[in-house]
Amino acid sequence: MNRKLSIVHAGVLSCMLAAGGHAFGQSNIDKMRGFQVTGTSLDIPTIPQDEAMAAQIRKNLQQVKMPPGFKIDLFAIVPDARHMAVTKSIGVVYVGTRKSKAWSVTDRDRDRIADEVKILAPSIKMKVPNGMCITNDGILYVVEHNRVLILPAIEFFYESPDIAIDGIIEPLVPVEEESFNHGARTCSIGPDNKLYITLGQPFNVPAKEKLPLYKQWGIGGIVRMNRDGSGREVYVDGVRNSVGHAWNPVNGELWFTDNQVDGMGDDIPPGELNRVTAQGQNFGFPWYGGGDTRTALYMDETPPADAIFPEVNMAAHAADLGMMFYSGKMFPKKYQNGIFSAQHGSWNRTTPVGARVMFTSLNEDGSANETVPFAEGWLVEETGEYLGRPVDVEQYIDGSILVSDDLVGAIYRISYVGG
């Protein structure tokens, strides 16, 4: 893996990278001194918050059912909205996609409905910028298909079309292993202040000869590295395609969702919500296709004796994606430190399932207690039609939660109003 570094205007990135410049250890103030203006227009394209479309989305949201006292509303129209990161002070929401753009979403008047949705760093050509995570000192990491962009002082620079870049980490996987299938990455900053990235492997079940290479790179696992890209290592493996992970704020344990093998039937194997208790754990894939269900290709192979099975078996083919631990104060106490996770909904099941937000409560020892639907109704059961497909859940600055939807192209806000 190479890490290219410089504090530059995106429009002159290529020539500056050739010239060098290593500034990752500088303060954000020093980084801003290196910002250069090259004359790119300050008029950044924005997404109209169309009143007719917004009204129809709100009408559809009337079908979403939640526990008493909760309210859901449209926060913003955001095309192809996927994974999100929220700045702590002004609440700008950075939103990834599986296409070529990322977004910044701003609620300027603080009425909890966004006023402005615009392209993030329009001068940078991106490819599947799905993953977003932000450090406590204001550095945004954008994880694309096969590289990571490091964007310093993001609250200062996000208004500019020529955003500062503090480095590029690439490649995440060998170029010959690139695939759109399972290529949406997610990231987080761990309690150890390191960068964690999920790397889905590109097959339904990989051929046996692929396993040594995949294990070396952490493909089908979660890798971690220093925030500057150095010191990369495989944190856990035996993962098929995780598209969501988060850290328990109570004990610092990592949890992640994982999507199971397709084509085995409507009701097997289960989706997964997993708990990591130590580095180096193996979560059973490809010997197991989900839960303890064996895959046909590896049926005659001996699985790892220490394979870790899911903490929670989710509905088969519901496509569990983004997740978060709730640490806010708005919701009732029963939700404190519990897990909210998004089910995108099935694409190849005879009877569709999913398209909802789940809640998992935890026991005092950190294990899962109970998993139940929290917000559901985006799937019309009578017809199998999706009114929306949740992707990610993220806590907002006031303690409400945001839910992204890449089918509708929207972000919803769920708040607790009592009653």
23-49: pLDDT as tens digits = 344 555 565 555 554 456 778 989 999
Q: Are 311 and 233 in contact (CB under 8 A)?
A: no
Instruction: Extract the tokens encoding 12.
Output: 């002159």
Give the DSSP letter string of 6-25: --EEGGGHHHHHHH----TT
Separation between Cα atoms, residue 145 and residue 139, nearest integer Å:
19
Q: Residue 282 gets which letter from DSSP?
A: B
Separation between Cα atoms, residue 288 and residue 261, nearest integer Å:
9
Separation between Cα atoms, residue 194 and residue 114, nearest integer Å:
31
Separation between Cα atoms, residue 413 and residue 25, nearest integer Å:
36
Contacts of 125 (CB under 8 A, 6+ apart): 100
Q: Are 291 and 270 in contact (CB under 8 A)?
A: yes
pLDDT at 324 (0 to 100): 98
Per-residue pLDDT of the chain (419 residues; tens, 9 = 90+): 555 544 444 543 433 333 333 334 455 556 555 555 445 677 898 999 999 999 999 999 999 999 999 999 999 999 999 999 999 889 999 999 999 999 999 999 999 999 999 999 998 999 999 999 999 999 999 999 999 999 999 998 898 888 889 999 999 999 999 999 999 999 999 999 999 999 999 999 999 999 999 999 999 999 999 999 999 999 999 999 999 999 999 999 999 999 999 999 999 999 999 999 999 999 999 999 999 999 999 999 999 999 999 999 999 999 999 999 999 999 999 999 999 999 999 998 999 999 999 999 999 999 999 999 999 999 999 999 999 999 999 999 999 999 999 999 999 999 999 96
Separation between Cα atoms, residue 40 and residue 123, nearest integer Å:
8
Contacts of 330 (CB under 8 A, 6+ apart): 398, 399, 400, 415, 416
pLDDT at 162 (0 to 100): 80
pLDDT at 14 (0 to 100): 34
Separation between Cα atoms, residue 148 and residue 156, nearest integer Å:
20
Separation between Cα atoms, residue 148 and residue 362, nearest integer Å:
33
Separation between Cα atoms, residue 212 and residue 232, nearest integer Å:
17
What the chain holds in terms of domains, given with CATH numbers, is 2-416 (2.120.10.30)
Separation between Cα atoms, residue 21 and residue 25, nearest integer Å:
11
Contacts of 13 (CB under 8 A, 6+ apart): 6, 124, 165
pLDDT at 35 (0 to 100): 52
325: left (phi over 0), alpha (psi -120 to 50) or beta: beta
Q: CB atoms < 10 A from the CB of 126, how many?
A: 21
Q: Are 272 and 289 in contact (CB under 8 A)?
A: no
pLDDT at 257 (0 to 100): 98
Q: Residue 136 gets which letter from DSSP?
A: T
Q: Are 167 and 151 in contact (CB under 8 A)?
A: no
Separation between Cα atoms, residue 43 and residue 76, nearest integer Å:
20
Separation between Cα atoms, residue 123 and residue 277, nearest integer Å:
41
The model scores a pTM over 0.85: yes
